[in-house]
Structure 1
Protein backbone atom coordinates (compact mmCIF):
# COMPACT_ATOMS: atom_id res chain seq x y z
CA UNK A 1 0.00 0.00 0.00
CA UNK A 2 2.71 2.46 0.96
CA UNK A 3 4.88 1.43 -2.00
CA UNK A 4 1.99 1.94 -4.40
CA UNK A 5 1.31 5.39 -2.95
CA UNK A 6 4.96 6.39 -3.33
CA UNK A 7 5.01 5.15 -6.91
CA UNK A 8 1.88 7.14 -7.77
CA UNK A 9 3.32 10.26 -6.16
CA UNK A 10 6.56 9.85 -8.09
CA UNK A 11 4.59 9.37 -11.31
CA UNK A 12 2.67 12.60 -10.75
CA UNK A 13 5.91 14.51 -10.15
CA UNK A 14 7.71 13.19 -13.21
CA UNK A 15 4.85 14.13 -15.54
CA UNK A 16 5.37 17.75 -14.52
CA UNK A 17 9.04 17.82 -15.50
CA UNK A 18 9.57 20.41 -18.23
CA UNK A 19 6.26 22.17 -17.61
CA UNK A 20 6.14 25.92 -17.05
CA UNK A 21 8.12 28.75 -18.61
CA UNK A 22 10.76 28.57 -15.87
CA UNK A 23 11.45 32.30 -15.91
CA UNK A 24 12.24 34.02 -12.60
CA UNK A 25 10.65 37.42 -12.00
CA UNK A 26 13.87 39.25 -12.86
CA UNK A 27 13.96 37.51 -16.24
CA UNK A 28 10.27 38.25 -16.85
CA UNK A 29 10.78 41.95 -16.14
CA UNK A 30 13.94 42.14 -18.23
CA UNK A 31 12.37 40.27 -21.15
CA UNK A 32 9.21 42.34 -21.01
CA UNK A 33 11.10 45.62 -21.16
CA UNK A 34 13.35 44.31 -23.91
CA UNK A 35 10.31 43.23 -25.95
CA UNK A 36 8.80 46.71 -25.66
CA UNK A 37 12.07 48.18 -26.90
CA UNK A 38 12.24 45.62 -29.71
CA UNK A 39 8.75 46.43 -30.95
CA UNK A 40 9.68 50.10 -30.98
CA UNK A 41 12.77 49.27 -33.01
CA UNK A 42 10.76 47.23 -35.51
CA UNK A 43 8.47 50.21 -35.94
CA UNK A 44 11.46 52.41 -36.70
CA UNK A 45 12.87 49.78 -39.07
CA UNK A 46 9.65 50.12 -41.07
CA UNK A 47 10.11 53.90 -41.29
CA UNK A 48 13.81 53.85 -42.15
CA UNK A 49 14.59 56.64 -44.63
CA UNK A 50 16.59 54.34 -46.89
CA UNK A 51 13.73 51.85 -47.10
CA UNK A 52 11.63 49.46 -45.04
CA UNK A 53 14.10 47.20 -43.23
CA UNK A 54 11.55 44.50 -42.41
CA UNK A 55 10.68 44.13 -46.07
CA UNK A 56 14.36 44.11 -46.95
CA UNK A 57 14.74 41.21 -44.51
CA UNK A 58 11.99 39.30 -46.32
CA UNK A 59 8.72 40.29 -44.62
CA UNK A 60 5.56 41.07 -46.58
CA UNK A 61 3.28 43.93 -45.56
CA UNK A 62 -0.45 43.33 -45.08
CA UNK A 63 -2.83 46.15 -44.21
CA UNK A 64 -6.54 46.16 -43.53
CA UNK A 65 -6.74 49.59 -45.12
CA UNK A 66 -4.14 52.01 -46.44
CA UNK A 67 -5.34 54.89 -44.28
CA UNK A 68 -4.82 53.05 -40.97
CA UNK A 69 -1.17 52.02 -40.57
CA UNK A 70 -1.93 50.67 -37.09
CA UNK A 71 -3.63 47.72 -38.75
CA UNK A 72 -0.44 46.65 -40.53
CA UNK A 73 0.80 43.09 -40.13
CA UNK A 74 4.25 42.08 -41.34
CA UNK A 75 4.49 38.40 -42.27
CA UNK A 76 7.46 36.16 -42.91
CA UNK A 77 6.58 32.72 -44.27
CA UNK A 78 9.70 30.71 -44.93
CA UNK A 79 9.33 26.94 -45.32
CA UNK A 80 8.47 25.64 -41.83
CA UNK A 81 8.83 29.04 -40.13
CA UNK A 82 6.06 31.63 -39.82
CA UNK A 83 6.45 35.02 -38.14
CA UNK A 84 3.92 37.84 -37.79
CA UNK A 85 4.63 41.26 -36.30
CA UNK A 86 2.14 43.90 -35.20
CA UNK A 87 2.40 46.90 -32.94
CA UNK A 88 0.63 44.88 -30.25
CA UNK A 89 2.78 41.75 -30.33
CA UNK A 90 4.38 38.90 -32.22
CA UNK A 91 3.46 35.44 -33.51
CA UNK A 92 6.04 32.71 -34.07
CA UNK A 93 5.11 29.32 -35.49
CA UNK A 94 6.88 26.21 -36.70
CA UNK A 95 5.61 23.03 -38.30
CA UNK A 96 5.01 20.21 -35.79
CA UNK A 97 5.45 22.59 -32.84
CA UNK A 98 2.47 24.94 -33.12
CA UNK A 99 2.65 28.66 -32.54
CA UNK A 100 3.25 31.24 -29.81
CA UNK A 101 1.82 34.71 -29.40
CA UNK A 102 3.66 37.25 -27.24
CA UNK A 103 1.71 40.30 -26.14
CA UNK A 104 3.57 43.60 -26.11
CA UNK A 105 2.93 43.96 -22.38
CA UNK A 106 3.19 40.35 -21.18
CA UNK A 107 6.38 38.36 -21.67
CA UNK A 108 4.64 35.05 -20.92
CA UNK A 109 3.56 33.72 -24.31
CA UNK A 110 0.42 31.81 -25.12
CA UNK A 111 0.53 28.61 -27.19
CA UNK A 112 -1.83 27.17 -29.79
CA UNK A 113 -1.58 24.04 -31.98
CA UNK A 114 -1.31 26.13 -35.15
CA UNK A 115 1.86 26.80 -37.11
CA UNK A 116 0.59 29.74 -39.17
CA UNK A 117 -2.08 32.45 -39.03
CA UNK A 118 -4.63 33.58 -41.58
CA UNK A 119 -3.59 36.65 -43.56
CA UNK A 120 -6.58 38.73 -42.49
CA UNK A 121 -5.53 39.24 -38.86
CA UNK A 122 -4.83 42.88 -38.06
CA UNK A 123 -6.13 43.40 -34.51
CA UNK A 124 -5.70 41.52 -31.20
CA UNK A 125 -9.37 40.51 -31.06
CA UNK A 126 -9.01 38.70 -34.38
CA UNK A 127 -6.38 36.30 -33.06
CA UNK A 128 -7.28 32.68 -32.31
CA UNK A 129 -7.10 31.55 -28.69
CA UNK A 130 -3.58 31.26 -27.29
CA UNK A 131 -3.43 29.66 -23.86
CA UNK A 132 -1.05 28.18 -21.32
CA UNK A 133 0.16 24.78 -22.59
CA UNK A 134 -1.27 21.72 -20.90
CA UNK A 135 0.54 18.45 -20.39
CA UNK A 136 4.11 17.42 -21.02
CA UNK A 137 3.82 17.15 -24.81
CA UNK A 138 2.47 20.68 -25.26
CA UNK A 139 5.02 22.13 -22.86
CA UNK A 140 7.91 20.47 -24.69
CA UNK A 141 6.74 21.95 -27.98
CA UNK A 142 5.99 25.35 -26.48
CA UNK A 143 9.36 25.65 -24.77
CA UNK A 144 11.22 24.64 -27.93
CA UNK A 145 9.24 27.28 -29.80
CA UNK A 146 10.01 29.87 -27.11
CA UNK A 147 13.73 29.27 -27.37
CA UNK A 148 13.44 29.46 -31.15
CA UNK A 149 11.49 32.71 -31.04
CA UNK A 150 14.04 34.41 -28.79
CA UNK A 151 16.90 33.09 -30.89
CA UNK A 152 15.22 34.32 -34.06
CA UNK A 153 15.04 37.87 -32.68
CA UNK A 154 18.73 37.60 -31.73
CA UNK A 155 19.55 36.62 -35.32
CA UNK A 156 17.46 39.49 -36.69
CA UNK A 157 19.25 42.02 -34.51
CA UNK A 158 22.62 40.61 -35.55
CA UNK A 159 21.56 41.04 -39.17
CA UNK A 160 20.52 44.66 -38.52
CA UNK A 161 23.91 45.40 -36.98
CA UNK A 162 25.78 43.78 -39.87
CA UNK A 163 23.65 45.37 -42.58
CA UNK A 164 23.41 48.89 -41.14
CA UNK A 165 26.16 49.28 -38.56
CA UNK A 166 25.92 49.94 -34.83
CA UNK A 167 25.11 53.62 -35.32
CA UNK A 168 21.74 52.87 -36.91
CA UNK A 169 20.38 50.80 -34.03
CA UNK A 170 21.91 53.17 -31.48
CA UNK A 171 19.96 56.08 -32.97
CA UNK A 172 16.82 53.94 -32.98
CA UNK A 173 17.15 53.10 -29.29
CA UNK A 174 17.92 56.74 -28.42
CA UNK A 175 14.51 57.78 -29.78
CA UNK A 176 12.68 55.32 -27.49
CA UNK A 177 11.11 56.95 -24.44
CA UNK A 178 12.32 54.16 -22.15
CA UNK A 179 15.65 52.91 -23.55
CA UNK A 180 16.61 49.87 -21.55
CA UNK A 181 19.14 47.60 -23.27
CA UNK A 182 22.26 48.85 -25.02
CA UNK A 183 21.70 48.90 -28.78
CA UNK A 184 24.88 46.95 -29.45
CA UNK A 185 23.84 44.34 -26.87
CA UNK A 186 20.31 43.65 -28.09
CA UNK A 187 21.24 40.57 -30.10
CA UNK A 188 23.32 39.20 -27.23
CA UNK A 189 20.50 39.88 -24.75
CA UNK A 190 18.01 37.91 -26.85
CA UNK A 191 20.56 35.13 -27.21
CA UNK A 192 21.00 35.04 -23.43
CA UNK A 193 17.24 34.68 -22.95
CA UNK A 194 17.07 32.00 -25.64
CA UNK A 195 19.71 29.79 -23.99
CA UNK A 196 17.89 29.91 -20.63
CA UNK A 197 21.04 28.89 -18.77
CA UNK A 198 21.09 31.65 -16.14
CA UNK A 199 20.76 29.11 -13.33
CA UNK A 200 23.93 27.33 -14.47
CA UNK A 201 26.31 30.29 -14.58
CA UNK A 202 26.96 30.57 -10.86
CA UNK A 203 26.16 34.30 -10.67
CA UNK A 204 23.15 36.28 -9.46
CA UNK A 205 20.71 37.02 -12.27
CA UNK A 206 21.01 40.75 -11.60
CA UNK A 207 24.73 40.52 -12.27
CA UNK A 208 24.22 38.52 -15.47
CA UNK A 209 21.76 41.10 -16.81
CA UNK A 210 23.85 44.13 -15.90
CA UNK A 211 26.12 43.88 -18.95
CA UNK A 212 23.15 44.32 -21.30
CA UNK A 213 21.46 47.27 -19.62
CA UNK A 214 22.01 50.94 -20.24
CA UNK A 215 23.40 52.90 -17.28
CA UNK A 216 20.61 54.42 -15.21
CA UNK A 217 21.67 58.00 -15.99
CA UNK A 218 21.19 57.46 -19.75
CA UNK A 219 17.62 56.19 -19.50
Structure 2
Protein backbone atom coordinates (compact mmCIF):
# COMPACT_ATOMS: atom_id res chain seq x y z
CA UNK A 1 0.00 0.00 0.00
CA UNK A 2 1.44 3.36 -0.95
CA UNK A 3 1.91 6.18 1.56
CA UNK A 4 -0.86 8.37 0.14
CA UNK A 5 -3.46 5.62 0.32
CA UNK A 6 -2.33 4.69 3.84
CA UNK A 7 -2.67 8.30 4.96
CA UNK A 8 -6.18 8.52 3.50
CA UNK A 9 -7.14 5.20 5.09
CA UNK A 10 -5.98 6.28 8.55
CA UNK A 11 -7.68 9.69 8.33
CA UNK A 12 -10.91 8.04 7.23
CA UNK A 13 -10.70 5.56 10.12
CA UNK A 14 -10.46 8.45 12.57
CA UNK A 15 -13.51 9.95 10.89
CA UNK A 16 -15.26 6.63 11.56
CA UNK A 17 -14.27 6.68 15.23
CA UNK A 18 -15.73 10.18 15.53
CA UNK A 19 -18.87 9.08 13.67
CA UNK A 20 -19.27 6.16 16.07
CA UNK A 21 -18.86 8.46 19.08
CA UNK A 22 -21.50 10.87 17.73
CA UNK A 23 -24.03 8.15 16.79
CA UNK A 24 -27.48 9.57 17.65
CA UNK A 25 -28.71 6.41 19.41
CA UNK A 26 -25.59 6.07 21.58
CA UNK A 27 -21.82 6.22 21.60
CA UNK A 28 -20.55 2.99 20.04
CA UNK A 29 -17.13 3.20 21.67
CA UNK A 30 -18.77 3.19 25.10
CA UNK A 31 -20.97 0.26 24.04
CA UNK A 32 -17.83 -1.62 23.02
CA UNK A 33 -16.27 -1.18 26.46
CA UNK A 34 -14.16 1.95 26.06
CA UNK A 35 -13.86 4.33 29.00
CA UNK A 36 -14.33 7.99 28.13
CA UNK A 37 -12.26 10.58 29.98
CA UNK A 38 -12.64 14.25 29.02
CA UNK A 39 -9.69 16.62 29.07
CA UNK A 40 -9.47 17.58 32.78
CA UNK A 41 -8.05 21.05 32.15
CA UNK A 42 -10.62 23.25 30.43
CA UNK A 43 -8.07 26.08 30.25
CA UNK A 44 -5.84 24.10 27.86
CA UNK A 45 -6.75 22.65 24.51
CA UNK A 46 -6.94 18.89 24.57
CA UNK A 47 -8.84 15.87 23.36
CA UNK A 48 -11.17 13.49 25.13
CA UNK A 49 -9.51 10.13 25.63
CA UNK A 50 -11.13 6.75 24.94
CA UNK A 51 -9.30 3.84 26.54
CA UNK A 52 -9.97 0.09 26.47
CA UNK A 53 -8.10 -2.80 28.01
CA UNK A 54 -8.35 -5.87 25.81
CA UNK A 55 -8.55 -9.52 26.85
CA UNK A 56 -4.94 -9.96 25.67
CA UNK A 57 -3.75 -7.45 28.29
CA UNK A 58 -2.95 -4.90 25.58
CA UNK A 59 -4.67 -1.52 25.64
CA UNK A 60 -5.85 0.82 22.93
CA UNK A 61 -6.19 4.54 23.57
CA UNK A 62 -7.91 6.87 21.10
CA UNK A 63 -7.86 10.65 20.89
CA UNK A 64 -8.98 12.91 18.08
CA UNK A 65 -5.32 13.35 17.13
CA UNK A 66 -4.04 9.76 17.27
CA UNK A 67 -4.08 6.25 18.66
CA UNK A 68 -1.76 4.44 21.04
CA UNK A 69 -1.37 0.67 21.31
CA UNK A 70 0.26 -0.43 24.57
CA UNK A 71 1.43 -3.74 25.95
CA UNK A 72 2.27 -4.52 29.57
CA UNK A 73 5.81 -5.65 28.77
CA UNK A 74 6.93 -4.37 25.35
CA UNK A 75 6.08 -0.70 25.35
CA UNK A 76 3.74 1.29 23.13
CA UNK A 77 3.35 2.66 19.66
CA UNK A 78 1.63 5.88 18.72
CA UNK A 79 0.12 6.58 15.30
CA UNK A 80 -0.90 10.13 14.46
CA UNK A 81 -4.12 10.79 12.57
CA UNK A 82 -2.15 13.12 10.29
CA UNK A 83 1.08 11.15 9.89
CA UNK A 84 0.52 7.39 10.04
CA UNK A 85 4.05 6.33 10.88
CA UNK A 86 4.21 4.35 14.13
CA UNK A 87 6.62 5.70 16.73
CA UNK A 88 7.79 3.87 19.84
CA UNK A 89 7.87 4.34 23.59
CA UNK A 90 9.45 1.71 25.80
CA UNK A 91 6.88 2.26 28.54
CA UNK A 92 3.17 3.02 28.57
CA UNK A 93 3.14 4.95 31.86
CA UNK A 94 2.66 8.35 30.21
CA UNK A 95 -0.38 7.40 28.17
CA UNK A 96 -3.06 7.75 30.90
CA UNK A 97 -2.03 11.37 31.48
CA UNK A 98 -1.98 12.39 27.81
CA UNK A 99 -4.56 14.86 26.50
CA UNK A 100 -2.68 16.67 23.75
CA UNK A 101 -0.87 15.75 20.56
CA UNK A 102 2.46 16.71 22.15
CA UNK A 103 2.49 13.17 23.55
CA UNK A 104 4.55 12.35 20.48
CA UNK A 105 7.50 14.18 22.03
CA UNK A 106 7.95 11.21 24.37
CA UNK A 107 8.05 8.68 21.52
CA UNK A 108 10.80 8.04 18.97
CA UNK A 109 11.35 6.16 15.76
CA UNK A 110 12.43 2.59 16.31
CA UNK A 111 16.22 2.49 16.14
CA UNK A 112 17.55 -0.93 17.04
CA UNK A 113 16.54 -4.13 15.23
CA UNK A 114 14.75 -5.23 18.40
CA UNK A 115 12.73 -2.00 18.55
CA UNK A 116 11.84 -2.31 14.86
CA UNK A 117 10.51 -5.83 15.40
CA UNK A 118 8.50 -4.66 18.41
CA UNK A 119 7.06 -1.71 16.47
CA UNK A 120 6.15 -3.99 13.56
CA UNK A 121 4.45 -6.43 15.93
CA UNK A 122 2.52 -3.75 17.82
CA UNK A 123 1.47 -2.12 14.54
CA UNK A 124 0.24 -5.49 13.32
CA UNK A 125 -1.76 -5.90 16.53
CA UNK A 126 -3.28 -2.45 16.06
CA UNK A 127 -4.25 -3.17 12.45
CA UNK A 128 -5.79 -6.50 13.47
CA UNK A 129 -7.77 -4.66 16.12
CA UNK A 130 -9.05 -2.13 13.54
CA UNK A 131 -10.18 -5.03 11.33
CA UNK A 132 -11.98 -6.65 14.28
CA UNK A 133 -13.48 -3.28 15.25
CA UNK A 134 -14.86 -2.61 11.77
CA UNK A 135 -16.22 -6.16 11.57
CA UNK A 136 -18.00 -5.64 14.90
CA UNK A 137 -19.45 -2.31 13.74
CA UNK A 138 -20.79 -3.98 10.59
CA UNK A 139 -22.39 -6.78 12.62
CA UNK A 140 -23.99 -4.35 15.08
CA UNK A 141 -25.06 -1.59 12.72
CA UNK A 142 -25.14 -2.99 9.19
CA UNK A 143 -23.70 -1.77 5.92
CA UNK A 144 -25.93 1.33 5.67
CA UNK A 145 -24.47 2.77 8.86
CA UNK A 146 -20.91 2.80 7.48
CA UNK A 147 -22.16 3.92 4.06
CA UNK A 148 -23.58 7.04 5.75
CA UNK A 149 -20.22 7.76 7.38
CA UNK A 150 -18.45 7.30 4.04
CA UNK A 151 -20.93 9.61 2.27
CA UNK A 152 -20.26 12.33 4.86
CA UNK A 153 -16.45 12.06 4.54
CA UNK A 154 -14.67 14.52 2.22
CA UNK A 155 -12.23 12.03 0.68
CA UNK A 156 -13.78 8.54 0.66
CA UNK A 157 -11.73 5.54 -0.42
CA UNK A 158 -14.64 3.28 -1.32
CA UNK A 159 -17.41 1.20 0.16
CA UNK A 160 -17.09 -0.54 3.55
CA UNK A 161 -15.92 -3.82 2.01
CA UNK A 162 -13.17 -2.04 0.03
CA UNK A 163 -12.01 -0.30 3.20
CA UNK A 164 -11.93 -3.53 5.16
CA UNK A 165 -9.95 -5.14 2.35
CA UNK A 166 -7.48 -2.23 2.50
CA UNK A 167 -6.90 -2.89 6.20
CA UNK A 168 -6.48 -6.60 5.46
CA UNK A 169 -3.97 -5.78 2.71
CA UNK A 170 -2.00 -3.64 5.16
CA UNK A 171 -2.15 -6.43 7.74
CA UNK A 172 -0.76 -8.93 5.23
CA UNK A 173 2.08 -6.57 4.29
CA UNK A 174 2.91 -5.95 7.94
CA UNK A 175 2.79 -9.65 8.77
CA UNK A 176 5.25 -10.44 5.98
CA UNK A 177 7.58 -7.66 7.13
CA UNK A 178 7.32 -8.63 10.82
CA UNK A 179 8.28 -12.20 10.07
CA UNK A 180 11.27 -11.11 7.99
CA UNK A 181 12.36 -8.70 10.74
CA UNK A 182 12.06 -11.33 13.44
CA UNK A 183 14.09 -13.81 11.41
CA UNK A 184 16.84 -11.23 10.87
CA UNK A 185 17.22 -10.38 14.57
CA UNK A 186 20.37 -11.51 16.26
CA UNK A 187 19.35 -10.69 19.84
CA UNK A 188 16.94 -13.59 20.12
CA UNK A 189 13.42 -14.20 18.88
CA UNK A 190 10.39 -12.25 19.97
CA UNK A 191 6.90 -13.72 19.74
CA UNK A 192 5.26 -12.51 16.54
CA UNK A 193 2.19 -14.70 16.34
CA UNK A 194 -0.67 -13.31 18.40
CA UNK A 195 -4.09 -14.85 18.87
CA UNK A 196 -7.02 -12.45 18.69
CA UNK A 197 -10.40 -13.24 20.16
TM-score by length of 2: 0.80
Name stretches of at least 5 consecutive residues in structure 1 with no aligned partner. 1-25, 200-219
1:35-77 CA-partner distances (Å, limit 9, x unpaired):
0000011001001011000111111101125979962111112
Give the secondary-structure state (helix, strand or coil) at the position aligned to 2:85: strand
TM-score by length of 1: 0.72
* Aligned residue pair count: 175
**Equivalent position of 2:131 in the other structure:** 154
Q: Which residue, 45, 48, 53 being the options, matches 1:72?
A: 48
Q: Which residue, 47, 69, 79 being the options, matches 1:92?
A: 69
Q: Which has the larger Rg?
A: 1
The answer on whether the counterparts of 1:157 and 1:186 sit within 8 Å (CA) in structure 2 is no
Supply the distance in 1 between the matched residues of 2:50 and 2:158 (Cα, whole angstroms). Answer: 24
Matched, 1:106 2:87: no
Question: Runs of 4+ in structure 1 displaced over 6 angstroms?
Answer: 66-69
The answer on whether the counterparts of 2:47 and 2:65 sit within 8 Å (CA) in structure 1 is no
Supply the distance in 2 between the matched residues of 1:124 and 1:69 (Cα, whole angstroms). Answer: 10
Supply the distance in 1 between the matched residues of 2:134 and 2:87 (Cα, whole angstroms). Answer: 23
1:162-198 CA-partner distances (Å, limit 9, x unpaired):
1110110110111011112322332222121011179
Name stretches of at least 5 consecutive residues in structure 2 with no aligned partner. 177-197
Matched, 1:32 2:7: yes
Identify if the C-alpha distance between structure 1 residues 117 and 157 changes in structure 2 by more than 3 Å, giving closer, same or farther.
Answer: farther
